[in-house]
Amino acid sequence: MTTLITGATGKTGQRVVHRLRALDHDVRGVTRHSTPRFDWHDRTTWAEAVAGCESAYLTFQPDLGLPDADEIIGAFAAEAVAAGCTRLVLLSGRGEDGAERAEKAMMASGADWTILRSAFFLQNFTEGVFTNELAAGSLTMVEHTAAEPFVDVDDIAAVAVAALLDPGYVGRVLDLTGPRLVTFEEAAQAIGGPTVTYRSVPTEDYIATLIAAGLPAADAAGLAYLFEEVLDGRNAYVTRDVESVLGRPARSVDDLHRGERR
Protein backbone atom coordinates (compact mmCIF):
# COMPACT_ATOMS: atom_id res chain seq x y z
CA MET A 1 0.00 0.00 0.00
CA THR A 2 1.34 3.44 -0.98
CA THR A 3 0.42 6.36 1.25
CA LEU A 4 0.32 9.90 -0.12
CA ILE A 5 1.56 12.63 2.24
CA THR A 6 0.73 16.19 1.20
CA GLY A 7 2.87 18.91 2.73
CA ALA A 8 5.63 16.33 3.08
CA THR A 9 8.19 18.88 4.25
CA GLY A 10 5.82 20.57 6.71
CA LYS A 11 5.84 20.21 10.48
CA THR A 12 3.57 17.17 10.66
CA GLY A 13 4.03 15.87 7.12
CA GLN A 14 7.76 15.26 7.38
CA ARG A 15 7.25 13.46 10.67
CA VAL A 16 4.52 11.22 9.24
CA VAL A 17 6.78 10.38 6.29
CA HIS A 18 9.64 9.47 8.64
CA ARG A 19 7.46 7.29 10.88
CA LEU A 20 5.85 5.39 8.01
CA ARG A 21 9.19 4.74 6.31
CA ALA A 22 10.63 3.51 9.60
CA LEU A 23 7.80 0.95 9.55
CA ASP A 24 8.77 -0.04 5.96
CA HIS A 25 5.67 1.46 4.40
CA ASP A 26 5.73 2.81 0.86
CA VAL A 27 5.34 6.59 1.03
CA ARG A 28 4.88 9.26 -1.63
CA GLY A 29 5.63 12.63 -0.08
CA VAL A 30 4.57 15.58 -2.23
CA THR A 31 4.95 19.35 -2.18
CA ARG A 32 4.87 22.16 -4.74
CA HIS A 33 8.53 21.35 -5.48
CA SER A 34 8.44 17.54 -5.49
CA THR A 35 8.26 15.07 -8.35
CA PRO A 36 5.41 14.54 -8.92
CA ARG A 37 4.50 18.10 -8.05
CA PHE A 38 1.45 18.78 -5.88
CA ASP A 39 -0.34 22.08 -5.34
CA TRP A 40 -3.75 22.37 -3.69
CA HIS A 41 -4.49 25.36 -5.91
CA ASP A 42 -3.52 23.64 -9.18
CA ARG A 43 -5.88 20.76 -9.87
CA THR A 44 -3.79 19.57 -12.80
CA THR A 45 -1.23 18.30 -10.25
CA TRP A 46 -3.63 16.10 -8.31
CA ALA A 47 -4.03 13.05 -10.54
CA GLU A 48 -0.34 12.15 -10.83
CA ALA A 49 0.21 12.66 -7.10
CA VAL A 50 -2.61 10.35 -6.08
CA ALA A 51 -2.16 7.66 -8.77
CA GLY A 52 -1.48 4.25 -7.24
CA CYS A 53 -2.02 5.40 -3.65
CA GLU A 54 -4.55 3.73 -1.40
CA SER A 55 -4.38 6.14 1.54
CA ALA A 56 -3.41 9.75 2.19
CA TYR A 57 -2.53 12.13 5.00
CA LEU A 58 -3.80 15.58 4.05
CA THR A 59 -2.58 18.94 5.34
CA PHE A 60 -3.89 22.06 3.63
CA GLN A 61 -1.93 25.28 3.12
CA PRO A 62 -2.05 27.97 4.31
CA ASP A 63 -4.96 26.99 6.60
CA LEU A 64 -8.03 24.80 6.32
CA GLY A 65 -10.18 27.52 7.87
CA LEU A 66 -9.60 30.02 5.06
CA PRO A 67 -12.16 30.72 2.28
CA ASP A 68 -12.56 28.15 -0.51
CA ALA A 69 -10.61 25.44 1.37
CA ASP A 70 -13.79 23.39 1.71
CA GLU A 71 -14.39 23.39 -2.05
CA ILE A 72 -10.79 22.36 -2.75
CA ILE A 73 -10.79 19.59 -0.13
CA GLY A 74 -14.13 18.26 -1.36
CA ALA A 75 -12.98 18.20 -4.97
CA PHE A 76 -9.66 16.54 -4.13
CA ALA A 77 -11.28 13.91 -1.90
CA ALA A 78 -13.78 13.00 -4.61
CA GLU A 79 -10.96 12.66 -7.17
CA ALA A 80 -8.85 10.60 -4.76
CA VAL A 81 -11.70 8.19 -3.99
CA ALA A 82 -12.44 7.78 -7.70
CA ALA A 83 -8.76 6.91 -8.24
CA GLY A 84 -8.84 4.25 -5.51
CA CYS A 85 -7.28 6.31 -2.72
CA THR A 86 -10.11 5.80 -0.28
CA ARG A 87 -8.45 6.05 3.15
CA LEU A 88 -8.08 9.76 3.98
CA VAL A 89 -6.80 11.29 7.21
CA LEU A 90 -7.25 15.07 7.35
CA LEU A 91 -5.45 17.45 9.70
CA SER A 92 -7.96 20.08 10.77
CA GLY A 93 -8.25 22.84 13.35
CA ARG A 94 -10.30 23.05 16.51
CA GLY A 95 -13.26 25.41 16.58
CA GLU A 96 -12.77 26.76 13.05
CA ASP A 97 -16.03 27.19 11.15
CA GLY A 98 -14.24 27.05 7.80
CA ALA A 99 -12.33 23.94 8.77
CA GLU A 100 -15.54 22.17 9.76
CA ARG A 101 -16.97 22.95 6.33
CA ALA A 102 -13.89 21.33 4.79
CA GLU A 103 -14.29 18.30 7.04
CA LYS A 104 -17.88 17.86 5.89
CA ALA A 105 -16.80 18.16 2.26
CA MET A 106 -14.32 15.33 2.73
CA MET A 107 -16.87 13.19 4.57
CA ALA A 108 -19.28 13.62 1.64
CA SER A 109 -16.71 12.20 -0.82
CA GLY A 110 -17.31 8.58 0.13
CA ALA A 111 -13.85 8.23 1.67
CA ASP A 112 -12.99 6.14 4.69
CA TRP A 113 -12.13 9.26 6.67
CA THR A 114 -10.58 10.28 9.94
CA ILE A 115 -10.40 13.89 11.15
CA LEU A 116 -7.58 15.11 13.39
CA ARG A 117 -8.65 18.40 14.98
CA SER A 118 -5.51 19.95 16.35
CA ALA A 119 -4.77 22.67 18.88
CA PHE A 120 -2.05 25.23 18.07
CA PHE A 121 1.32 23.58 17.46
CA LEU A 122 4.04 23.92 20.09
CA GLN A 123 6.53 23.90 17.21
CA ASN A 124 5.15 27.20 15.94
CA PHE A 125 7.53 28.65 18.53
CA THR A 126 10.56 26.65 17.32
CA GLU A 127 9.98 25.86 13.63
CA GLY A 128 7.15 28.09 12.51
CA VAL A 129 5.54 31.49 12.35
CA PHE A 130 6.76 32.72 15.75
CA THR A 131 10.34 31.46 15.50
CA ASN A 132 12.21 34.49 14.21
CA GLU A 133 10.53 37.00 16.49
CA LEU A 134 10.96 34.75 19.50
CA ALA A 135 14.66 34.35 18.72
CA ALA A 136 14.87 38.16 18.82
CA GLY A 137 13.38 38.20 22.30
CA SER A 138 9.72 39.05 21.76
CA LEU A 139 6.37 37.67 20.66
CA THR A 140 3.47 39.61 19.18
CA MET A 141 -0.02 38.12 19.10
CA VAL A 142 -3.52 39.28 18.31
CA GLU A 143 -5.45 40.50 21.37
CA HIS A 144 -7.19 37.67 23.23
CA THR A 145 -7.71 36.40 26.77
CA ALA A 146 -7.99 32.62 26.35
CA ALA A 147 -5.29 30.06 27.09
CA GLU A 148 -4.55 27.30 24.57
CA PRO A 149 -3.82 23.55 25.01
CA PHE A 150 -0.77 23.61 22.71
CA VAL A 151 -0.03 20.21 21.15
CA ASP A 152 3.31 18.75 20.09
CA VAL A 153 3.56 17.92 16.38
CA ASP A 154 5.38 14.66 17.15
CA ASP A 155 2.22 13.58 18.96
CA ILE A 156 0.10 14.63 15.98
CA ALA A 157 2.31 12.62 13.62
CA ALA A 158 2.15 9.54 15.82
CA VAL A 159 -1.65 9.77 15.97
CA ALA A 160 -1.82 10.28 12.19
CA VAL A 161 0.20 7.13 11.57
CA ALA A 162 -2.01 5.16 13.94
CA ALA A 163 -5.10 6.47 12.15
CA LEU A 164 -3.70 5.55 8.72
CA LEU A 165 -2.79 2.01 9.74
CA ASP A 166 -5.63 1.04 12.10
CA PRO A 167 -9.09 0.72 10.50
CA GLY A 168 -10.59 1.21 13.94
CA TYR A 169 -10.19 4.95 13.48
CA VAL A 170 -12.29 5.16 10.31
CA GLY A 171 -15.20 7.56 10.77
CA ARG A 172 -13.78 9.16 13.91
CA VAL A 173 -12.96 12.74 14.84
CA LEU A 174 -9.95 12.94 17.17
CA ASP A 175 -9.50 16.17 19.16
CA LEU A 176 -5.76 16.57 19.74
CA THR A 177 -4.47 18.78 22.56
CA GLY A 178 -1.61 18.99 24.97
CA PRO A 179 -2.09 18.08 28.62
CA ARG A 180 -2.82 21.57 30.00
CA LEU A 181 -3.87 25.10 29.12
CA VAL A 182 -1.06 27.61 28.58
CA THR A 183 -1.19 31.26 27.56
CA PHE A 184 0.85 32.44 24.58
CA GLU A 185 2.96 34.52 26.92
CA GLU A 186 3.68 31.53 29.17
CA ALA A 187 4.58 29.35 26.17
CA ALA A 188 6.83 32.02 24.67
CA GLN A 189 8.70 32.49 27.94
CA ALA A 190 8.93 28.76 28.65
CA ILE A 191 10.55 28.18 25.25
CA GLY A 192 12.32 31.47 24.58
CA GLY A 193 13.31 32.35 28.14
CA PRO A 194 11.84 34.48 30.93
CA THR A 195 13.06 37.74 29.37
CA VAL A 196 10.89 37.36 26.25
CA THR A 197 8.67 40.43 25.83
CA TYR A 198 5.07 39.62 25.01
CA ARG A 199 2.87 42.09 23.09
CA SER A 200 -0.87 41.74 22.52
CA VAL A 201 -2.15 44.02 19.73
CA PRO A 202 -5.42 44.72 17.87
CA THR A 203 -6.12 42.56 14.85
CA GLU A 204 -5.27 45.22 12.26
CA ASP A 205 -1.92 45.86 13.93
CA TYR A 206 -1.25 42.13 14.01
CA ILE A 207 -1.92 41.90 10.28
CA ALA A 208 0.69 44.61 9.75
CA THR A 209 3.13 42.66 11.93
CA LEU A 210 2.66 39.50 9.85
CA ILE A 211 3.09 41.40 6.59
CA ALA A 212 6.27 42.99 7.92
CA ALA A 213 7.51 39.48 8.73
CA GLY A 214 7.12 38.53 5.06
CA LEU A 215 3.64 36.95 4.90
CA PRO A 216 1.51 37.89 1.86
CA ALA A 217 -1.20 40.40 2.77
CA ALA A 218 -4.11 38.04 2.06
CA ASP A 219 -2.59 35.23 4.15
CA ALA A 220 -1.73 37.66 6.95
CA ALA A 221 -5.31 38.93 7.12
CA GLY A 222 -6.75 35.43 6.94
CA LEU A 223 -4.56 34.12 9.75
CA ALA A 224 -5.09 37.17 11.96
CA TYR A 225 -8.88 36.96 11.73
CA LEU A 226 -8.70 33.18 12.20
CA PHE A 227 -6.66 33.66 15.39
CA GLU A 228 -9.18 36.26 16.55
CA GLU A 229 -11.98 33.76 15.93
CA VAL A 230 -10.56 30.70 17.66
CA LEU A 231 -8.90 32.45 20.62
CA ASP A 232 -12.21 33.57 22.11
CA GLY A 233 -12.23 30.75 24.67
CA ARG A 234 -14.03 28.12 22.59
CA ASN A 235 -10.94 25.86 22.62
CA ALA A 236 -9.83 26.47 26.20
CA TYR A 237 -10.13 22.86 27.32
CA VAL A 238 -8.00 19.74 27.05
CA THR A 239 -8.84 16.25 25.83
CA ARG A 240 -7.24 12.85 26.29
CA ASP A 241 -7.46 11.73 22.67
CA VAL A 242 -3.67 11.78 22.21
CA GLU A 243 -3.27 9.58 25.28
CA SER A 244 -6.08 7.24 24.22
CA VAL A 245 -4.43 6.62 20.84
CA LEU A 246 -0.78 6.51 21.90
CA GLY A 247 -1.14 4.93 25.34
CA ARG A 248 0.92 7.62 27.08
CA PRO A 249 0.39 11.27 28.03
CA ALA A 250 0.60 14.03 25.47
CA ARG A 251 3.80 16.07 25.51
CA SER A 252 3.66 19.50 27.12
CA VAL A 253 5.47 22.80 26.62
CA ASP A 254 7.74 21.77 29.50
CA ASP A 255 8.76 18.60 27.64
CA LEU A 256 9.57 20.64 24.53
CA HIS A 257 11.60 23.11 26.59
CA ARG A 258 13.60 20.24 28.07
CA GLY A 259 14.05 18.67 24.64
CA GLU A 260 12.38 15.42 25.68
CA ARG A 261 11.17 12.96 23.04
CA ARG A 262 8.86 10.01 23.38
Band of residue 71 on the pLDDT scale cut at 50, 70, 90: very high
Band of residue 258 on the pLDDT scale cut at 50, 70, 90: low
In this model, does residue 260 exceed pLDDT 90?
A: no
Closest CA to 95 of 187, 221, 228: 228
Cα of first residue to Cα of last residue in the chain, in angstroms, is 27
Domain boundaries, the chain: 2-252
In this model, does residue 51 exceed pLDDT 90?
A: yes
As a whole number of angstroms, the distance between CA 137 and CA 148 comes to 21
Q: How far is CA 220 from the centre of its chain?
A: 17
Which comes out higher in pLDDT, residue 225 or 27?
27
As a whole number of angstroms, the distance between CA 11 and CA 234 comes to 25
Class level of CATH domain 2-252: alpha beta
As a whole number of angstroms, the distance between CA 136 and CA 253 comes to 20
Region 248-259: what's the mean pLDDT?
83
Condensed to tens digits (0 to 9), the pLDDT of residues 77-114 reads 999 999 999 999 999 999 988 999 999 999 999 999 99
In this model, does residue 262 exceed pLDDT 70?
A: no
The reply to whether the predicted model has a pTM over 0.85 is yes
- Cβ atoms 130, 139 nearer than 8 A: yes
Band of residue 200 on the pLDDT scale cut at 50, 70, 90: very high
In this model, does residue 174 exceed pLDDT 60?
A: yes
- Cβ atoms 246, 158 nearer than 8 A: yes
Of 56-65, 146-155, 197-206, the one with minimum mean pLDDT is 56-65
Instruction: Write b or e for each residue in 72-84: b if 16 or more Cβ atoms lie within 10 A of its Cβ, otherwise e.
Output: bbbebbbebbebe
Band of residue 226 on the pLDDT scale cut at 50, 70, 90: confident
Band of residue 47 on the pLDDT scale cut at 50, 70, 90: very high
